[in-house]
Amino acid sequence: MTEAAPAPKDNMGQPEPRLDARLKVTGEVLYPSDVPLHNPAYAVLVTSPIAKGRIARLDLDAARRVPGVLDILTYENTTELKQVPYGGGGSGASTSMQKLGPEIHFAGQIVAMIVAESFEAAEEARFKTNIAYESEAAAPTFGAPGLTSSDAAKVSNPPKKMPQHGDVDAALQSADVTLEAEYGTPTQHHNPIELFTTSCEWKDGRLTIYEPSQFVYGLRNALAKAFDMSPDQVHVVSLYVGGAFGSKSQLTPRSALVALAAKRLNRPVKLVASRSQGFTVSTYRAETRHRIRLGATKDGKLVAYSHQGFELSSRPDNYSVSGVADSAHLYAFGTVKTGVEIVHADRNTPGFMRSPPVVPYIYALESAMDEMAVKLNMDPVEFRRINDTRVDPVSGKPYSSRSLMACYDQAADAFDWKARNPEVGSMRTGDWLVGLGCATAVYPTHMGPSTARIRLFPSGDVEVQTAAHDIGTGAYTVIGQTAAEQLGVPMTKIKVQLGDSDLPPAIVAGGSSTTASVCSAVYKGCSTIKEKLIRAAVRANDGPLAGRSPDEITLQAGMLRTRDGAEEKLAETFDRLGVGALEEYAEFIPPGLKPEDVQKLYSGQAKLVGGGEGEKLMYAMGAEFVEVHIHARTREIRVPRIVGAFAAGRLMNTRTARSQLMGGMIWGISSALHEATEIDPKRARYVNDNLADYMVPVNADIDALEVILVPEEDSFVNPVGAKGLGELANVGTAAAVVNAVYHATGQRLRQLPIRLEKLLV
Ligand code: MOS
């Protein structure tokens, strides 16, 4: 065992190396745009430089005359495509992204797609397009004139929950200590290293699309609608995804355009949108503001939590994340009042981005919690302990399991929190001010319907087939491990197929739901196969296991065995059954959903449940501690140390779990200190839409980083007992950094990201 492959503790799986590790590090993996196609044509996108107005004149003559240009798609010649609002208003639907014009709703809207014999010819033609626009003043961000707003509780579909409990205003009136503060988070873009690509090919009326996707059934069915054809005439292949973070979970306009071009030319067409186009051809994390009020007794007992969120969206779309539905359950608040306002601006529609609801809302709440602890003159860890709860402060329902304080205690120990002098500005090393801060990480346990097909051969070889997705998280590996553990075979015997819409459907790779949902389906399928084998062996008239009780028998290393040493080879049991393979199709339907939700999954609709819904609250939790150094004169900010402890039910694989949690914390530091998409307030264009100017942490920004895996058992959540942790660790990190910066400097910065100039006073 190594640091990267931590030894499993209670209720944790082995740190199996990734099944796709070798392929990836040797560059053998074929990402969707790498799949070789015969004689492809190449597409490039033309996007709008204006944010609001319309196309006045579309002169493409010069572009069409470029040698090698085959076709140019615009709003004038693509009317056969049906407009497909994808997923409903609650899931990042992008009605503002559907049209090629003539109306322009945001800067970066696709207005044309050029297809040519070569990428170079298509690019040359792009420069020779001559498009005139009538431009209107755009309102791109908070405070701009001309914004409108709507109440997320009223306009969201499906409805958003805005938890309320008791009389917050009265509780604040009578509280010993109160806090009122406003917080803000900026626009962020996912920027997966793999760009947004689409390759399409038609054969005998059937479309095959190679596109990185977090939901191949969603993409298949949405594309089928765009072409008004049967979903089984569309085949989505997305075996590997080079990062997604939410940005590849839905149909975007490029896919149907590429498919249409391939159909018209009767030839494969490939598109790789540029890095800067990636900022507007998919979604992003919305800019948010938060107004928080907290009330507490003087011994630190919370009596009131009021949280009003404001989220920027596009003009037509009511997208919001409304993270109060999660934040409202976190502590024993006493009374709760929440609301969210959607602010409509001249922007593209935002969407899911890693831990969408909780990142901005928990940032605000966990900053406020630290401010309150300061007001109470109380240790922030103790403040959270006093307000820890086993039940939902809103409904009184119990948590299925909750290990928040175990996480705090283990992380605090490892961090040596007790060495902290709580006095602001009291700690120093050389020219550097030292600040230590902490915050809570929390993520709802989401599950969706999922299906899988399992095949076991007498040799012990296993095939697992499910249209789930490995977006870099280790899904291939943990899905394979589930089958290996259940069927008692080594990982070398396991073959896992994912990412293909011809396989049985699985839930969207979103909401950190894959492990809990897909592994549960695989677990069920394997259990059924195992039961069939055991039944055949014990019901036989002869043989070593005849007449034994099924409960006594385990399946290990290709043998059915009892503890007292009776055993039978798998091949013999197969002979009894008279079959050469056992195949099982299994469905996992989470509590609260019905078989019809599986049928909906087949038609591309993903429904997630969990978190604050259901009879118990289901949440993964963690605690993060951060040390910041701020140079006394230059105010340069460094983060030399970060420790996080996390509990998320069964951890299927300690290696992939640690890797996810480590990445999450680094992304959290990124949110605190680096990341923000800047927008030109006048032209409403993204300014830093490239990887040189869009700041993210690099190796030199991250020094000591420790991940502590806290054992937790939860038999309630699902058959495998896993809560999912892909999006857990970047929640709360930014607040921990902000809280540490306060401890170092006495400056309370409430608007992310914190940059050096904000500390120059
Ligand atoms: Mo994640 S933002 O739920 O893909």
Q: CA torsion, points 68, 73, 76, 79, in degrees to nearest 10?
A: 140
pLDDT (tens digit per residue) in 598-620: 999 999 999 999 999 999 999 99
Q: How far apart are CA 760 and CA 283, in angstroms?
A: 34
- Closest ligand 1 atom to Cα of 511: 3
Best residue for ligand 1 mutational test, from 189, 213, 245 (most atoms within 8 Å of Cβ): 245
The one catalytic residue among 371, 567, 675, 727 = 727
Alpha-carbon torsion 258, 259, 265, 266, what sign? positive
Q: Indicate the angle between helix axes 216-226 and 253-265, nearest 10 degrees.
A: 60
- What's the CA-to-centroid distance between 38 and ligand 1, angstroms? 34
- What's the CA-to-centroid distance between 618 and ligand 1, angstroms? 18
- What's the CA-to-centroid distance between 244 and ligand 1, angstroms? 8
* Backbone dihedral angles phi then psi of residue 599, each to the nearest 5 degrees: -65, -40
- Closest ligand 1 atom to Cα of 249: 4
Residue 86: predicted pLDDT: 53
Amino acid at 363: Y
Residue 98: predicted pLDDT: 78
Contact status, residue 457 vs residue 581, Cβ threshold 8 Å = yes
pLDDT (tens digit per residue) in 129-156: 999 999 999 999 999 999 999 999 999 8
Residue 87: predicted pLDDT: 44
Best residue for ligand 1 mutational test, from 248, 352, 447, 730 (most atoms within 8 Å of Cβ): 352
Best residue for ligand 1 mutational test, from 249, 607, 730 (most atoms within 8 Å of Cβ): 249
Contact status, residue 346 vs residue 684, Cβ threshold 8 Å = yes
- What's the CA-to-centroid distance between 754 and ligand 1, angstroms? 25
Q: How far apart are CA 78 and CA 254, in angstroms?
A: 12
* Backbone dihedral angles phi then psi of residue 631, each to the nearest 5 degrees: -65, 130
- Closest ligand 1 atom to Cα of 509: 4
Residue 88: predicted pLDDT: 40
Q: CA torsion, points 217, 223, 228, 231, in degrees to nearest 10?
A: -20
Residues with a CB atom less than 6 Å from ligand 1: 214, 245-246, 249, 352-354, 356, 510-511, 727
- Half-sphere exposure (CA, 13 Å, Cβ side) for 689? 19
Contact status, residue 728 vs residue 644, Cβ threshold 8 Å = no
Instruction: Please work out, in degrees rounded to the nearest 5, the angle formed at the alpha carbon of residue 653 by the alpha carbons of 651 and 655.
Output: 120
- What's the CA-to-centroid distance between 155 and ligand 1, angstroms? 22
Concerning whether 727 is annotated as a catalytic residue, the answer is yes
Strands (E), 204-349: 206-210, 234-237, 269-272, 288-296, 302-313, 335-344
Residue stretches of the chain with pLDDT short of 70: 85-93
Contact status, residue 324 vs residue 338, Cβ threshold 8 Å = yes
- What's the CA-to-centroid distance between 353 and ligand 1, angstroms? 5
- Closest ligand 1 atom to Cα of 512: 3
Q: How far apart are CA 342 and CA 345, in angstroms?
A: 10
- Closest ligand 1 atom to Cα of 244: 4
Strands (E), 297-380: 302-313, 335-344
- What's the CA-to-centroid distance between 86 and ligand 1, angstroms? 16
Best residue for ligand 1 mutational test, from 250, 727, 728 (most atoms within 8 Å of Cβ): 727
- What's the CA-to-centroid distance between 323 and ligand 1, angstroms? 14
- Half-sphere exposure (CA, 13 Å, Cβ side) for 217? 26
Q: How far is CA 233 from the centre of its chain?
A: 29
Residue nearest to atom 4 of ligand 1 (CA): 246
